[in-house]
Amino acid sequence: MYLHEGTLFAVPFDLARLEFSSQPVPVLEAVTTNNVSGAQYAVSNRGTLVYLPGSVFLNASPISWMDRAGKTTTLRAMPADWSNPRFDPTGETLAVDISDGKQTEVWTYEWTRDTLTRMTFNGLDDRKPVWTPDGRRMVFSSTSGDKATLNLYWRRTDGTGDVQRLTESKNSQYAASWHASGKFLAFFESNPQTSNDLMILPIEGDEATGWKPGKATAFLNTPANELEPMFSPDGRWLAYASNESGRQEVFVRPFPGPGGKWQISTGGGFGATWSRTKSELLYGTPDRQVMVASYSVAGDSFRADKPRLWSETHFLTLTRNRSFDLHPDGERLAVAAVPEQTATKQDKVVFVFNFFDELRRLAPPSAH
């Protein structure tokens, strides 16, 4: 069973053949869903269904500013299923990916002009944009070469020229951060043997002579899940998230290495983000708040202070990777703000007994 836009669907599945045995059918309507807690239903192993009835809340939110005082104001008023916000070097344009429920594409939003521009047009899945340090190009993950696997591509941000493929891998890859020199791209790759690994892609050339991507190499591949490698503004350090301790935390390592590592977060962390104006490293917490740790560097040693709340205001966790980005001025974030509570109380649940009998009637298993 699965939920789509408030309707619960069931599809018979053949465990012996590991395949669907017929088409999905709707079995229940008006099940509450939202972009914070997911689908509001559960089924016991004895066949009792319980669900929260009500309106459907899709993964659509406006984009908001959040400052250090916790104040939120509108950045883009139109709700959308957006994710992975990244400001360009000037701070005047925000890149995001937006899903219409069928496919995801990359867009740019010039917030000073309230202008939204589509950047990808291949009709497949394009997501997770990352600007080059000069803002002239944008790398993103796309299924252009393989409808099941995301690899890395880039194109000019002025819309001219063709999309160029940067990597070819059987594993899905997600761009994360450019080195200040523009010569290295940090990304993470889903590896069936070692979970997500941190990777570095070297890039040579220039706009006049052309660009040539090199061979991607592993920066960190362990049995742990390593995500979102982010270069410091000076390119000397790489922040990332790892669950090596059993809980996802934020760490920093020297680039290109070798060297030690420093744990930054203390109660869980994700989405490491460097300030471009202060010696500060921000990250999100499991309860959807932003923390900040001031840091200093002495030679090859990195020292971070005890993390503190950057803002007491909570934000919404988005559906695809990054949920916020820091403006280049270091004083405000682009986030999905938590909406104000509505007057409608959701204080009743519905139980459906003998639900398995109803499933067999509506979606009978195949004869074989």
Q: Is the CB of residue 41 less than 8 Å from the CB of residue 50? A: yes
Share of the chain above pLDDT 90, in %: 67
Band the pLDDT of 259: cuts 50, 70, 90: confident
In this model, does residue 100 exceed pLDDT 90?
A: no
In Å, the largest CA–CA distance within the chain is 71
User: Which element (helix H / strand E) includes 80?
Assistant: strand 72-87
Band the pLDDT of 76: cuts 50, 70, 90: very high
Q: Is the CB of residue 353 less than 8 Å from the CB of residue 48? A: yes
SS3 state of residue 357: helix
Range from 120-124, 267-271, 290-294 carrying the lowest mean pLDDT: 120-124
* Distance (Å, whole) CA 103 – CA 126: 8
In this model, does residue 366 exceed pLDDT 80?
A: no
pLDDT at residue 342 in the model: 45
pLDDT at residue 22 in the model: 84
Share of the chain above pLDDT 70, in %: 94
* Distance (Å, whole) CA 276 – CA 56: 39
Tracing tokens 């010696």 back to the chain, one arrives at 279
Of residues 230 and 59, more confidence is placed in: 230
Burial 244-272 (b: 16+ CB within 10 A, else e): eeeebbbbbbbbeeeeebbebbeebbbbb
Of residues 90 and 362, more confidence is placed in: 90
Band the pLDDT of 26: cuts 50, 70, 90: confident
In this model, does residue 368 exceed pLDDT 60?
A: no
Q: What are phi and psi of 359, to 5 degrees?
A: -65, -45
Range from 37-46, 163-172, 304-313 carrying the lowest mean pLDDT: 37-46
Cα separations in angstroms, 338 against 28, 34, 288, 290, 322? 28, 12, 10, 13, 16
Q: Is the CB of residue 187 less than 8 Å from the CB of residue 174? A: yes
Averaged pLDDT, 258-269: 93
Cα separations in angstroms, 178 against 158, 173, 175, 260, 265? 19, 15, 9, 22, 23
pLDDT tens-digit map of 145-191:
666 799 999 999 998 888 999 999 999 999 999 999 999 999 999 99
In this model, does residue 37 exceed pLDDT 80?
A: no
pLDDT tens-digit map of 130-146:
999 999 999 999 997 66
Q: Is the CB of residue 138 less than 8 Å from the CB of residue 132? A: yes
Contacts within 8 Å (CB) and 24+ apart, 34-40: 35/59, 35/60, 35/61, 35/316, 35/317, 35/318, 35/319, 35/336, 36/316, 36/317, 36/338, 39/3
* Distance (Å, whole) CA 129 – CA 125: 12
**Residue 105, number of CB atoms within 10 A of its CB:** 21
Beta bridge partners of residue 231, listed in sequence order: 238
Band the pLDDT of 23: cuts 50, 70, 90: confident
Report which residue type is found at 339: P
Cα separations in angstroms, 4 against 24, 45, 61, 94? 11, 22, 18, 29
Across all residues in the chain, what is the average pLDDT?
90
* Distance (Å, whole) CA 252 – CA 286: 19
**Residue 102, number of CB atoms within 10 A of its CB:** 7
pLDDT at residue 310 in the model: 95
Averaged pLDDT, 95-116: 92
Number of residues in the chain: 368
